[in-house]
Chains A and B, each alone.
Chain A
Amino acid sequence: MRRRIAAASSLAVLLASGLTACAAPRQTESGTTVHGGRVVGGKVVDGVLEYGHEQEPSCLIGGWVQQVYLMRQFLDSLVTVTADGAVKPWLATSWSQSPDGRSWTFHLKPGVRFTDGTKLDAAAVAYNFDSLLTGAGANSTAQAYLQEYYAGSRAIDATTFRLDLRKPYQPLLPVLAQGYFGIQSPAAMRRGASANCVHPVGSGAWIVRQWNRGQNVVFTRNDDYNSAPSTASHQGPAYQRSMVWKFLKDPTLRYGSLETGASDVIYDVPTVDWAAAKRSYAVQRYITPGRAVSLTLNATRAPFSDERLRRAFAYSLDRKAGVDSAFHGAYPYNGDGALSKSTPGYDPRFAGTYSYQPRLAARLLDQAGWTARDGEGYRVRDGSRLTAQVVYPAGSIVTPETVTLLQDLQSQAKEIGWDVQLVPATQSAYFAGEYSTRTSYDAMTGYWTSPTAGVMYITWRQDLANRPNSANIAFYNSRRLEGMIAVGNAAADPAQRQVAYSSAQRYISDHALAIGLYAQTTSLASAPDTKGVWIEQSQGEPVLSDAYFTGGQ
């Protein structure tokens, strides 16, 4: 009954929002199973897998995590990581680091080809790194990680590739496990950005056959696939002959597609449905490392140029209660603004530094001179209201539950006397850089997915005229903080590295530069007859090449 009501509700929402294109019935082909496959050894294979995703990017490759989810399907990387952070072989069967820490040598799996027929050899890998970091195929996230470190690439022989750095960068291997560094066909890259954007070519388990904008990307199986990561459930081609990656941005619609059978697997289960999904479907949840979803405070203008007010703001918000309520207990609260608690190198000692303390918040505001209140209950000083403009990228970075959380926090802050103004940034405005300047917000909502505490070098490296850093969204420049993180990135000794990363986390916490909300979370729900779907561990990319069906015959 519940299923029927949900399906009917989903249909109503679908009709109301005019998103009919997203929910076209699954195309089935004549075959022995409803998935259009055949039964081999108890598994239904050679069928069509229907995957309901969320965001549709403007290009199938790029530096946004939503692009990497797609890239993971058709690109292979040098290495991969496991849940405990161990680095495992993929295209690289082994690797070594020079004694000075500046050169990494990778030995590649022989006999791998891109799906355009060209060879995936050391020269192709070198071309990729040059292109991603300095050339026409530049990837903004790859550059954020490595551009400052990158010295060059060399193909020593057909299967030996060397990456040279200007200075040691110890988190290199887990960083390379992220799909941003997936290896593309140089021949395809040379076609230019526009062609590569729509029909990128890799050596992965799937081949991009058709991108139907606004609807889906249709993948076909790479029948010659021989380069699955060592962590995959099986080697060789994907079990299914085709995979339809549908863009179902509306969460109710997405979940409804699973309930009606239009999708076999969906991404980002709405948290309000999480408990029900756990009962009816196979669910997986991955707490993304990196920077948690946080409010990063603009340290260059009032009110948050005053450290007392940054602290007061943090103490004003009962973030844990807000997160537990808005996400129905499905997402973990993450009090730290520096790192997500699942990040290797995370130091838990600062998680509770800014617990909800309204009296302390009020005292700090009083000390800063914000003692009077206006007719609406907001604090005022010298005729100005205590206002904080909080920008959030609506419909792209944050979910509807996050908007609920922000409204709950806004209400809590009002009790203390803050006038928090929520400013939804449209996807186009946000990605066009409309909110990238020091005068465009007081606090920004966002996250960074990353398998290393070294991501702090991206988010906190100084933003200087001769060395700009658009990821430093607090606009907070501290040589000391940057230095701590740089020491951590360079330290070969894990203990020394941890000390440096911990110092940086303490610094960020002490200065109340960012207020953590919750850990960015990847969740998947699979229909009961769909098995083998898994989430890779560098940043939560869904892996669908091991998926098979057990029923539907």
Chain B
Amino acid sequence: MTAAANTLPARTIRIPAPTVLAAVVVVLFVIAAIFPSLLAPYDAFHVDLGETLRPPSFAHPFGTDQSGRDVLSRVVSGAGASLLIGLGATAVAAALAVVLGVAAGLGGRLLGGGVNRLIETLFAFPVLVLALLLITVFGPGVSTLVIAVGVANAPGYARIVRGQVLSVRRSEYVEAAHATGHSPARVLLRHILPNALRPLVVAGSLGIGQAIVWASGLAFLGLGVAPPSAEWGALLNDGRTYVTVAWWVEVLPGAVIVLVALALTALGRAMQRRFGKESG
């Protein structure tokens, strides 16, 4: 057994330390999102008017907020909503991007050109402005945040998909599939999409962190979820009033948002490098 093992060529996968660290942060984030009670020391919604705006301490590592609630517990509690918004918004953006990108890439001069102009027009809107417009129309809330950030991010992804579709459709294996009599739908589903979507997966993994930051920004402006939700942007919105006298209410949730967004981005980059190597 040992002799056989020793005779095999050693194959080690070297993962850079920052990537490991990012993975740890993301794992903690996911645990917080799915099992908040494992990490939250207190009930995130328990109001204690005798303990308001207490600075960080052993009992309350992130301090308490204006209602005496434990800030760490609220940050943990808000992870679920933030993850949901990040994943949901990215999924919405990706789904829209596939439809728009494929239509723009394969739709011919009339349809493809029209969809392409639509993508370019939407792309010209700043993400925040487009999201604000949608929230104004549909009202604030988690679902609106998901849709608003998703729709606002879709044009960027759609351009990626369109570029890939245009590239793949002229490849030899697609032409061969056409030549062997495959239906256009089969060619699209079996040959074009699988090859065109790989960059979208990478972009999406990068986009989750970005979507969380966008959603937090909108919630910070009061356009997010209703209180007493501990969604991260809402925490920032609540904390800004007290930033001059109780920095921890604002700064520590903000630091967590930055940390998670950085970790997700670092993992996305790692995936990008790995996919890049494989496709190269």
Chain A interface residues (CB < 8 Å from chain B): 5-6, 9-10, 12-13, 16-17, 250-252, 255-256, 270, 272-273, 276, 321-322, 325-326, 394-395, 400-401, 403-404, 406-408, 410-412, 421-424, 426, 428-429
Contact = CB atoms under 8 A, between A and B. Distances in A.
A412 B243 contact: no
B244 A326 contact: no
B211 to A, nearest CB: 18
Interface string B52-90: 100000000000001110000000000000000000000
A273 B47 contact: no
B66 A404 contact: yes
Contact of A326 (B66, B221, B226): B66
Contacts of B45: 411
Interface stretch (B97-105, B173-181, B234-242): B234-242
B139 interface: yes
Contacts of A408: 47, 49, 67
A208 B117 CA distance: 44
A403 B244 CA distance: 19
A252 B49 contact: no
B140 interface: yes
The 10 closest A-B pairs by CB, nearest first: A411-B47, A6-B244, A400-B241, A325-B49, A9-B243, A407-B228, A404-B66, A407-B227, A422-B227, A9-B244
B140 A424 contact: yes
A252 B241 contact: yes
A426 B140 contact: yes
A272 B140 contact: no
Q: Interface centre among A17, A326, A404, by most B CB within 10 Å? A: A404
A400 B238 contact: yes
A407 B47 contact: yes
B106 to A, nearest CB: 39
B105 to A, nearest CB: 35
Contacts of B52: 325
B157 interface: no
Contacts of B238: 400, 403-404
23 contacts: A5-B244, A9-B243, A10-B243, A12-B243, A17-B220, A250-B240, A270-B241, A272-B242, A272-B245, A272-B246, A273-B244, A276-B245, A394-B222, A400-B241, A403-B227, A407-B227, A408-B47, A411-B45, A411-B46, A411-B228, A422-B228, A426-B222, A429-B139
Q: Secondary structure at chain B's binding surface: helix, strand, loop or mixed?
A: loop
Contacts of A321: 49
A447 B204 CA distance: 47
B244 A255 contact: yes
B241 A251 contact: yes
A236 B230 CA distance: 54
Given A395-B222, A404-B67, 7 more contacts: A16-B220, A326-B66, A400-B238, A411-B228, A424-B226, A426-B223, A429-B139
A426 B66 contact: no
B171 interface: no
Given A325-B52, A407-B228, A426-B139, A401 B241 contact: yes
Given A17-B220, A407-B67, A424-B222, A272 B228 contact: no
Contact of A272 (B67, B220, B244, B250): B244
B247 interface: yes
B167 interface: no
A275 to B, nearest CB: 9
A251 B240 CA distance: 9
A400 B46 CA distance: 19
Interface in B1-51: 45-47, 49
